[in-house]
């Protein structure tokens, strides 16, 4: 009833409404896990469509060898990831997107080169998806304590 009261600030009311929507006030684990699955599917779709580069950037090493021997100095350059063109929804891209998404659920960086959009999608999923897991864990904890 608190989220329906008129004397609550809008921010608090919005937070309570979001809490109800995502996990049913900590009483419905299936709701939190359903939202987690939906968030992961959206993340995978966005990464396949816009986040993974067309091809993995190749590293190029150049160096010079001083006359008469000595130490060699290398400079390693890597091209910036380019946005994909053509068919974006392939099995290989799905596998890479799934890997990035599963790593983001547990706060790990995938190490995959991503486009700018992909970087932001990964950052958002690294914030949202563990939060949904935590809401589901709170529901399970509440049921076990009863």
Q: Residue 72 falls within a domain, yes or no?
A: no
What would the pLDDT profile of 9-45 be if each residue is shown by its tens digit?
A: 888 888 888 888 888 877 888 888 999 999 999 999 9
The tokens describing 46, both together, are 């966005």
Which are the contacts of 114, defined by CB distance < 8 A and separation ≥ 6? Answer: 47, 51, 52, 53, 81, 100, 121, 122
For residue 76, what is the DSSP state?
A: E
> Which residues constitute the domain of residue 109?
2-55+87-145
Radius of gyration (C-alpha) of the chain in whole angstroms: 23
Q: Residue 12 falls within a domain, yes or no?
A: yes
Domain count, the chain: 1
User: Contact at 8 Å (CB) between 122 and 100?
Assistant: yes
Q: Residue 75 falls within a domain, yes or no?
A: no
Q: How confident is the model at residue 46 (pLDDT cuts 50, 70, 90)?
A: very high
pLDDT at 85: 73
Answering whether pTM is above 0.75, one says no
Q: Residue 79 falls within a domain, yes or no?
A: no
What would the pLDDT profile of 68-105 be if each residue is shown by its tens digit?
A: 766 766 666 666 677 777 788 888 888 888 888 888 88
């Amino acid at each position: 009833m608190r989220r329906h009261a008129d004397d609550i600030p809008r921010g608090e009311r919005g937070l309570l409404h979001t809490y109800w929507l995502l996990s049913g006030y900590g009483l419905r684990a299936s709701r939190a896990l359903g939202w987690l699955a939906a968030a992961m599917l959206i993340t995978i779709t966005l990464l396949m469509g816009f986040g993974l580069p067309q091809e993995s950037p190749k590293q190029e090493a150049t160096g010079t060898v001083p006359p008469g021997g000595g130490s060699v100095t290398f400079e390693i350059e890597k091209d910036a990831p380019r946005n994909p063109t053509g068919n974006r929804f392939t099995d290989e891209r799905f596998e890479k997107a799934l890997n990035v998404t599963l790593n983001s659920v547990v706060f790990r960086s995938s190490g995959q080169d991503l486009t700018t959009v992909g970087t932001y999608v990964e950052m958002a999923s690294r914030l949202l998806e563990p939060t949904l897991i935590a809401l589901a864990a709170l529901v399970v904890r509440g049921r076990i304590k009863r």
